[in-house]
Amino acid sequence: MDKNIGEQLNKAYEAYRQACMDRDYAVKELQQKTENYMQQIREQQERIELQNSIIAKLKSQLAALNANR
Q: How many Å apart are CA 41 and CA 33, to the nearest integer?
A: 12
Q: Across residues 17-38, what is the average pLDDT? A: 98
Q: Cα–Cα distance between 48 and 61 in angstroms, integer?
A: 20
Per-residue pLDDT, 2: 73
Helices (H) and strands (E) in the chain, counts: 1, 0
* pLDDT bucket at 1, cuts 50 / 70 / 90: low
Terminal Cα distance for the chain, rounded: 101
Q: Which pTM was predicted?
A: 0.67
Mean pLDDT of the 26-55 span: 98
Confidence of residue 3 (pLDDT cuts 50, 70, 90): confident
How many angstroms separate the CA atoms of 69 and 65, rounded? 7
Question: What is the structure's pLDDT at 68?
Answer: 83
pLDDT on residue 34: 98
